[in-house]
Structures are given as C-alpha cells and as structure tokens.
Amino acid sequence: MVKFYESFFNYDYPFPAVSLAYFLRYPNPYATHVLSTDVIDRTFDPSTQRLHTTRLHLKRSKIPPTVLKLLPKGILGASSDGGQSYILEKSVVDVREGWMKTETRNLEWTGILSIIEKQYYRRPSDGMATPGSSTRDLVEKTKKEGTDVTTTVTLLSRFGQAKLLKKRGETTAIHPISSTSSEEEEAPVRKGIFSSWSTSSLQRTIEAVGLRRTREALAKSKDGMTVVLERLRHGGLVQVLEGMQEDSHRTFGQDPNLPWKRAWRQGKDSGSEDSS
C-alpha cells in the first residue's frame, strides 16, 4: 500500500530569500528536534548554473505509540523510546530560472515506514528576479514577489512484507495457486489482539499514522521557515546567524558567546569607531 499527500503554499518572500532561508532553517524554534546538519556533498555546474547539495540531518525521533502497539516486542530495541534517526536531503537550485527542487527521505526504520518528501520552490512566472547586493535587499527590493511551493509526500510501509512473501512462496511450493482471496493468503504479523489483522491492514494503519504526523511536521516546517525569513527581512544575514545561535543555546545549552560572535562584535565595534 502507498499513501500520497500533496499541498500547495506561497511564501510572501522572493525566491532568492526563500532558497537562502531553506539552507539556514536549522536550528529554529520549531525544529528543536534537529540535532545536527552536515553537508556531505556540494557541486556547482557552470554549464547549467545550478547548485547541487546533499546534506545529512540527525534528528531526535520517536515512533508513535499507536505504531509501537502494532509491532512485535523487541523489534526496535531501545531505539523505540527516544532514539535518533538520519534524514538524507538532496537539493538543486537554479537561481537564474528561479526554482529549487528538494527531496528528503528517512534512512532509519524504512522497513516499517518509508517517507519521501519532494518540494518544488519556484518564482511566479510574472515575478521579476533582482540578483542583489545585500541579503536584506533580496527581500526588500522584491517585496511584492512571492515564492510558490508544491510539496508531495509518499508514504510506504513494507512491514510484514518479507514474511508474507516467504509464506506465499512456501505455500506455492506445496500447493498449486488456487482462486483463494487475498485475505486468506495474507499471514498475520503478530499474535494477540492484532492476530486477525492482515499484513495490508497493518501497513495501511502505519501509513495513516505517518500521514498525520507528516501534516503536522509540514506545518511546523513552514513556521520555522517563516521565522528565518523574518529575521532575514529585519536584520539580514547577521540577524539570521544570531537567531540560530540563540536557538542552539535554548535547545542544547550551548554558550552563546562563542568565538565567531565575539569576533563579529569586535569587528563591528572597531568599524563604528573608524566611521566616527
């Protein structure tokens, strides 16, 4: 079984600002579960003028209790209560044409539920791009230009599939295939209260729970992006970096007075003295 979810959204910010905010969106107040982000590959194609990036996100992750009840005890070990999981992100940005395509997928627990999220950010066809000077200009000079976003999510559960295929293979080897119903062919995944459930029923339930959580996560993702965009609008890249540092301090208890910030403040103070 497969579930699909699609949504459309418009950011009231120009494409250059939105594409920049996408790469600066962690940490933010709505993504305290994101522990780290690492760029593992980045290339620029001079012929197409496109930037290709692959990143790896480490996030706190917890399987919903509803899904845990469907799984055999001990299948996940200690990671079921509050472990960590990796998310692979790939993106392509074309600033000249005004679009960005992204794809994220989970690398953990894919046998239980695989989630692939694809997003397409694009400048409206009637919008005008203004490659600018400062980051604040990216927003201020094109206030009337927005960015359309199309999100498509595919959820697929393969839970119990291997056991089902194995059982079907054994059955076929002993008896010829007859015109039995699919419900009769499908083996129950676990004993007890769910013993009467077919494999497809369990998969549909897992996908439904995943879809509900995906919708909630997308709403928080929009809120987090908006926070970064507002910081960019009011204070440029400096305010974005300061906000990221403050969010890290609140989430992980890190010292906000790190060397980069002290160096920036010293440079700012010396610049003010020179101008005076």
pLDDT digits (tens, 9 = 90+) for 1-42: 688 899 999 999 999 999 999 999 999 999 999 999 999 999
Whether residue 46 is predicted with pLDDT greater than 70 in this model: the reply is yes
Tens of pLDDT, residue by residue over 211-264, are 999 999 999 999 999 999 999 999 999 999 999 999 988 877 755 555 545 555
User: Confidence class of residue 72 from pLDDT cuts 50, 70 and 90?
Assistant: low
Say how far residue 78 (Cα) sits from the centre of its chain. Answer: 24
Taking only the tens place, the pLDDT of each residue in 172-211 is: 444 443 333 333 333 344 444 455 467 788 888 889 988 9
Dihedral sign from CA coordinates of 248, 251, 255, 256: positive
Which residues, including other chains, have CB under 8 Å from residue 220's CB and lie 6 or more apart? Answer: 30, 31
Per the DSSP assignment, residues forming a β-bridge with 239 are none
Residue 89: per-residue pLDDT: 98
Which phi and psi angles does 58 have, rounded to 5°? -105, 125
pLDDT in tens, 131-155: 544 555 555 555 568 999 999 999 9
The CA dihedral of 160, 161, 162, 165, to the nearest 10 degrees, is 120
Residue 94 has a pLDDT of 96
Q: Are 72 and 190 in contact (CB under 8 A)?
A: yes
Q: Look at residue 110 in the predicted model and tell me its pLDDT.
A: 87
Q: What is the pLDDT of residue 42?
A: 98
Cα–Cα dist 31/174, whole Å: 53
pLDDT value of residue 177: 38
The answer, yes or no, to whether residue 271 has pLDDT greater than 70, is no
Separation of alpha carbons 41 and 36, rounded Å = 16
- Of 38 and 111, the one with more pLDDT: 38
pLDDT at position 21 is 96
Q: How far apart are CA 224 and CA 247, in angstroms?
A: 11
- The residues that bridge with 194 in the sheet, in sequence order, are none
Show the tokens assigned to 207. Answer: 């996908």
Token couple for 219: 């709403």
Q: How high is the mean pLDDT of the chain?
A: 78
pTM tops 0.85, yes or no? no
Please give the sequence-ordered ranges of beta strands (E in DSSP) within 95-240, or none if there are none.
Answer: 99-106, 114-122, 147-156
